Amino acid sequence: METVTERIARLKKERNAIILAHNYTNPEIQDIADFTGDSLGLSIEASKTDADVIVFCGVTFMGETAKILSPDKTVLLPRTDAICDMAAMCSPEALAKRKKELPNHVVIGYVNTTGPTKALMDVCCTSGNALKVVKSLKEDKILFVPDKNLGSFIARNVPEKEIVLWDGCCPIHDALTIEEVATLKERYPNAYSMAHPECNERILEMMDFIGSTEAMLNHCRTSEHKEFIVVTEVGMKHRLETECPDMTFHFPESAVCQPMKYITLESIASCLEDLSGEVILDDDIIRDAYQPVNRMIQIR
């Protein structure tokens, strides 16, 4: 009798498929993925793969980004109901309206947005390259959507630009409290602290390092510290422990992104089996969204 892992391996070969997984997915998903990483790394990987099928283990906007970058490939989402709450906070209709109110502002959009919203941006960014993208622009007036926490982190670091924020956030990172982080700091007084820029300013002020999930991992790889407090989604713990086995990581237990946990080995096998969960975007959305996403990929 074939195990689910063997079934995935067989179907992957039959379909010429690649499995990409975000750092927040369950450990068993990360363990069978061909590539695990942050939004930026996953976008780059999706743009350069020669596989026919991309199975995207992450929330839906991530699969849409892969489709925008590789429109000729079949992109499958093991769970089409794995929706990022932040991406749902910036509809294309609302963005179109705001753009009319701010005709002289260039629109920079976080990758955590849907395809139709991306189609209205000038340039896209992830938390891994946001500062670089903003600094690379000649324009000084920016509308940043949808994450107000990442946006205000950028505004503090690039004060020469005028940045108008959108009223959106990640409900998981934004809900983390100073008390929760202070308790971790009291419990592990020698730990080096890191947080994702989706956390609010008061938490970021308490940190030694701020960065995307992959930036945190890279920081650990070259660090002389052995113990870390990591203020981001708990799925990242497995990735850090796998890559840095001699280090210890402490996370806030409440930081759980449920949609990321929907993806199971069974759901991967079943989408490979019948090619269900395919990302479908209109051609004009792909065409218009490709420009800001590709522009981001070119800024390294």
**Residues binding ligand SF4 (CB under 6 A):** 59, 84-86, 112, 170, 172-173, 198, 233, 257
H-run or E-run covering 289: helix 283-298
**Number of C-beta neighbours around residue 45 at 10 A:** 18
Nearest Cα neighbor of 123 from 107, 144, 104, 146 is: 107
Residue type, 108: I
70 binds, among ligand SF4, ligand 13P, none (CB under 5 to 8 A by kind): none
| Binding footprint of ligand 13P on the chain (CB under 6 A) | 23, 38-39, 112, 126-128, 170, 196, 198, 212-213
Judged by CB, which is closer to ligand SF4: 111, or 296? 111
Minimum distance from CB of 287 to ligand SF4 (Å)? 26
Judged by CB, which is closer to ligand SF4: 64, or 198? 198
Judged by CB, which is closer to ligand SF4: 51, or 133? 133
Minimum distance from CB of 5 to ligand SF4 (Å)? 25
Minimum distance from CB of 256 to ligand SF4 (Å)? 9
Length of the chain counted residue by residue: 300
Minimum distance from CB of 6 to ligand 13P (Å)? 29
52 vs 106: CA distance, rounded Å: 35
Minimum distance from CB of 129 to ligand 13P (Å)? 9
- The alpha helices in 126-230, defined as continuous H runs, are 130-136, 148-157, 171-174, 178-187, 201-204, 213-221
- DSSP notation for 222-269: T-S--EEEEES-TTHHHHHHHH-TT-EEE--TT---HHHHT--HHHHH
Judged by CB, which is closer to ligand SF4: 71, or 259? 259
